């Protein structure tokens, strides 16, 4: 993370737009806050918007505000986040999920430093520093037409990549003790140590949920700990370490045959699921391109997606692995 800290220190004193990329749970919002609170705007508002939780119309209302009667349910005037964040920092999380029509309006705000509330004809000026974050490969989305190229270059002035926790395992002990201190204070417990076995488990776990998963794990471990030391047993009950078989141990030859059949079927399902997920990840969730790459009919590829309840919006990409130019 030293490289990330260095980038934060370099960009914080400026007004440059920042694009933070990385998997879910890697601490992208913490990076955004660090940029704000080390900037010249630190005494001004830091306003966050999760672009993934709102529909297109509601997101526009959230960002730009609206006037009474502009749409069904608009019973009063509402100030938007661009107005509330004026002179401060506006952090737009999950930026890759914004609809193309809203992207066009955001581009104008970035270029002209002005906007209109929904249903209003008056123009409002804004002076915000924009920080965006995404777990998607925006380059690949530009290539397939789902993200505006001009907007991409406007927000990608100063990129920062938040590495996955498995890529920076040396940070795990410091993070674990940091969260230990926080939750001991919140829960009024006196847990001060992590045993060698417990730390080894933390260091060797894959952390698919990244820093957020580590934070939740430490909170649960503090709750479960009856004394002053978090031990391996406390973590083993929390983390899916794969140390226990997920099948019934057979007692007879008939049981053995039955369980082997189940295991074979499960292995096929695991392979099919991984096959679909990895293909979508390589192709930035473009179903047509994924089907073409595998030599499958699009309908058959979608059938496998439906079989395993795989949705394109749940696929996360590593920009370095998609092969996008």
Domain-located, residue 214 = yes
Same domain, yes or no: 23 and 134: yes
Q: What is the mean pLDDT of residues 198-215?
A: 91
Domain-located, residue 245 = no
At 325 the pLDDT is 42
Domain-located, residue 242 = no
Q: How far is CA 264 from the centre of its chain?
A: 34
3-state helix, strand, coil in the chain (%, to 5): 50, 10, 40
Same domain, yes or no: 46 and 149: yes
Domain-located, residue 20 = yes
Q: How many CB atoms lie within 10 A of CB 53?
A: 12
How far apart are the C-alpha atoms of 300 and 289, rounded to whole Å?
A: 13
Same domain, yes or no: 84 and 72: yes
Which tens digit of pLDDT belongs to each residue from 114-125? 988 888 878 889
Same domain, yes or no: 16 and 141: yes
* CATH at residue 216: 1.10.8.60
How far apart are the C-alpha atoms of 225 and 307, rounded to whole Å?
A: 41
Domain-located, residue 274 = yes
- Residue 298: which domain range? 253-314
CB 273 within 8 A of CB 310: yes
CB 68 within 8 A of CB 80: no
Which tens digit of pLDDT belongs to each residue from 156-184? 999 999 999 989 999 999 999 999 999 99
Phi/psi for 296 (5° steps) reads: -100, 155
Same domain, yes or no: 107 and 170: no
Same domain, yes or no: 11 and 151: yes
Q: What is the mean pLDDT of residues 125-148?
A: 94
How many domains is the chain built from? Answer: 3
Same domain, yes or no: 84 and 196: no
Same domain, yes or no: 13 and 159: yes
- List C-alpha distances in Å: 46 to 21, 49, 268, 290, 317: 19, 10, 48, 39, 28
pTM, full prediction: 0.68
Same domain, yes or no: 44 and 148: yes
Same domain, yes or no: 87 and 229: no
* CATH at residue 292: 1.10.10
3-state secondary structure of 47: strand
Which tens digit of pLDDT belongs to each residue from 54-79? 888 788 888 998 888 777 777 788 88
* CATH at residue 22: 3.40.50.300
At 271 the pLDDT is 81
At 245 the pLDDT is 45
Same domain, yes or no: 158 and 170: no
Q: What is the mean pLDDT of residues 236-251?
A: 61
Q: Pick the residue with more confidence: 275 or 129?
A: 129
Q: How far is CA 168 from the centre of its chain?
A: 17
Same domain, yes or no: 143 and 80: yes
How far apart are the C-alpha atoms of 6 and 320, rounded to whole Å?
A: 21
At 268 the pLDDT is 78
């Amino acid at each position: 993370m030293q490289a990330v800290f260095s980038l934060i220190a370099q960009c914080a004193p400026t007004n440059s737009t920042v694009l933070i990329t990385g998997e879910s749970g890697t601490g992208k919002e913490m990076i955004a806050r660090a940029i704000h609170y080390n900037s010249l705007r630190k005494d001004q508002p830091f306003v966050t918007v999760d672009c993934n939780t709102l529909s297109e119309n509601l997101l526009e209302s959230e960002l730009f505000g609206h006037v009474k009667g502009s749409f069904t349910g608009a019973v009063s005037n509402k100030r938007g986040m661009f107005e509330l964040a004026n002179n401060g920092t506006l952090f737009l999380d999950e930026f890759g999920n914004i609809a193309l029509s809203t992207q066009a309006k955001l581009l104008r705000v970035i270029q002209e430093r002005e906007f209109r509330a929904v249903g209003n004809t008056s123009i409002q000026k804004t002076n915000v520093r924009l920080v965006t974050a995404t777990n998607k490969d925006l380059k690949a989305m530009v290539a397939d037409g789902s993200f505006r190229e001009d907007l991409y270059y406007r927000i990608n002035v100063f990129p920062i990549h938040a590495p996955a926790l498995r890529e920076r395992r040396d940070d795990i002990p410091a993070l674990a003790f940091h969260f230990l201190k926080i939750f001991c204070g919140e829960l009024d417990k006196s847990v001060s140590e992590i045993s060698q076995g417990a730390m080894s488990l933390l260091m060797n776990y894959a952390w698919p949920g990244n820093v957020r998963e580590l934070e939740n794990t430490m909170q649960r471990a503090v709750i479960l700990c009856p004394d002053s030391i978090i031990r391996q047993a406390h973590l083993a009950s929390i983390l899916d370490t794969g140390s226990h078989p997920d099948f019934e141990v057979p007692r007879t030859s008939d049981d053995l045959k039955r369980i082997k059949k189940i295991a074979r079927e499960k292995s096929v399902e695991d392979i099919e699921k991984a096959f679909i997920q990895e293909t979508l990840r390589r192709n930035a969730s473009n179903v047509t391109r994924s089907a073409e790459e595998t030599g499958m009919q699009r309908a058959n590829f979608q059938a496998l997606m439906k079989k395993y309840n795989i949705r394109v919006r749940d696929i996360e990409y590593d920009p370095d692995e998609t092969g996008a130019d």
